[in-house]
Structure 1
Amino acid sequence: MDGYEEEENSERLLVFRPISILYFILILFWTMLLLPFILLAGGVFSRALGMPSYLAFIVLLLSLFGSHVNIPVMTVSSPQPMMSFREVDFFGVRWYMPEFTYKRRKTVIAINLGGALIPTFVSLYLLLFIVPACETNLMIAYGKIFAAFLIVTFIVHAVAKPVRGLGIATPSFVPPFASALAALAIFPIYTRSNPFIIAYVAGTLGTLVGADLLNLDKVSRLGSPLVSIGGAGTFDGIYMTGIMAV
């Protein structure tokens, strides 16, 4: 295509660390601090999220280490203006004339294993198996979860910002606090529901939708070669939501 230069972009890059090594170690340290509490309060934990305490701890670790794995799903491209100078020699005098071209920059959109797939599968497990088993009124229970999900989605979408070269970024403290406050406000309405399930499902899915999915139309303009749903920019918020829910 005239006036365009194609920029090569490999989709084989699947593994990278979305956060700094120091931040990764800090989050791992916080996770390990939970281990004694999870083992000592296994009964409470099992009633909270409907799964054995050791399994929930394994899910947290898999989410943390799974944050390194990104699965490409599609590629988008957008024209990026580029300016160069053309040298013109006239009667021994060199003139430099600006030239404008457009480079078509490709952005690979991927799904993060630890920040998107694992939390989504856990949320579906809770919604399809645990909620029907422990709630007496499914319509009310699902209505509360959906209401909390909408609240978290709205709050996260309001604070999520497109960052050039990175993707969509969200302050890490917003998703866990938004989901916790929404769950505390909603779970006692009409009849008491499980606040831990409300917080986890609304927090993880609300963050993915509010931060990443509702901003997919902006990623092609950010100049990043790879944008990961649930990865860099939003992973820490989703992971902290899981920790606060337990």
Structure 2
Amino acid sequence: MIYLPVTALLFVLLLLSLPFLWLAIAFDAVQLAVAKLGFSPTAASVLLLMVILGSTINIPLYERVSTVAIVPDFEELWLSRFWGIPLRKIQQKTIVALNVGGGLIPTVLALYQFTRVSPLGILLVTLIVAVVSYYSAQVVPGIGIQMNALVAPLTAAMAAILISGGIAAAPIAFAGGVLGTLIGADLLHLREIERMSAGVLSIGGAGVFDGIALCGLFALLLT
């Protein structure tokens, strides 16, 4: 009986420490992954901080104005169908932006790998991941693009290993995974999202949890 309070206290302390343990594991994983890109642990820490802070910053690229019909009620639908009265329409404005933490920084790191490893290998992996991402991604109205988080990283890792023969597979997988996801899942579906969504459409807008950054990180760890 005398050990019950102590056990309960240790259990509570364990629950409270879980977020810190998760952060420590995530930080070590990022350091390990970034080291494969040729950066020191100090540079990895700086990059992680930049990604976290940059996830709050969106750089506007352009805006698109489109005309959409308002969802009609029964009376408007009846008048439109039988009497030819047009439905009411409104103009909606969509601002397309690039998120610094989830889009810009991973893309810059991916482009930097062209100077370190085989450009042809990166281009081939990018092409493969772009095709897979395009057909795997789904555009959900009001939400955005949804895709299984492991599809692109697994594709990038396997393609990089096969194409490179295991030589410098990690940076090739990272660069091809990031660029392929950006092109296949985001850019090639951009027009569809513009027609469905009003407001700010941010590429990489989920910051460190966005598919672009996650794909690069997972691809590194898997190789």
Q: Shorter-chain TM-score: what band?
A: 0.7 to 0.9
**CA displacement at 1:203 relative to structure 2:** 0.8
Counterpart of 2:37 (choices 34, 46, 49) is 49
What is the correspondence of 1:11-160 to structure 2 with a 5 Å cutoff?
32-36=24-28, 46=35, 48-82=36-70, 83=72, 100-128=87-115, 130-131=116-117, 141-160=118-137
Letter in 2 for 1:32: A
- Aligned-partner Cα distance in 1 for 2:19–2:217: 10
Identity value in percent: 34
> TM-score normalised to the size of structure 1?
0.67
Structure with more helix by fraction: 2
**CA displacement at 1:223 relative to structure 2:** 2.6
Counterpart of 1:237 (choices 201, 211, 218) is 211
Pair 1:219 & 2:193 matched? yes
**CA displacement at 1:237 relative to structure 2:** 2.0
1:193 is matched with: 167
- Aligned-partner Cα distance in 1 for 2:160–2:137: 21
- Aligned-partner Cα distance in 2 for 1:158–1:233: 23
Structure 1 residues 215 and 70 mapped into 2: Cα distance closer, same or farther (>3 Å)? same
Aligned positions, number: 193
- Aligned-partner Cα distance in 2 for 1:233–1:114: 5
Deviation >4 Å, runs of 4+: 26-31, 36-39, 232-235
**CA displacement at 1:176 relative to structure 2:** 1.7
**CA displacement at 1:183 relative to structure 2:** 1.5
More displaced, 75-84 or 146-155? 75-84
Letter in 2 for 1:56: A
- Aligned-partner Cα distance in 1 for 2:103–2:93: 22
2:210 aligned counterpart, secondary structure: helix
Letter in 2 for 1:106: K
8 Å Cα contact 2:99-2:202 kept in structure 1: yes
> TM-score normalised to the size of structure 2?
0.74
- Aligned-partner Cα distance in 2 for 1:218–1:231: 17
8 Å Cα contact 1:168-1:234 kept in structure 2: no
**CA displacement at 1:36 relative to structure 2:** 4.4
Instruction: Provide the alpha-carbon RMSD of the alignment.
Output: 3.1
Pair 1:169 & 2:156 matched? no
Deviation string for 1:72-109 (max 9, x for gaps)?
A: 111112211124779xxxxxxxxxxx873100111111
**CA displacement at 1:206 relative to structure 2:** 0.7
- Aligned-partner Cα distance in 2 for 1:119–1:172: 16
Structure 1 residues 235 and 74 mapped into 2: Cα distance closer, same or farther (>3 Å)? farther
8 Å Cα contact 1:49-1:196 kept in structure 2: yes
1:14 is matched with: none
Letter in 1 for 2:25: L
* Structure 2 residue runs without a partner (length 5+): 1-17, 77-84
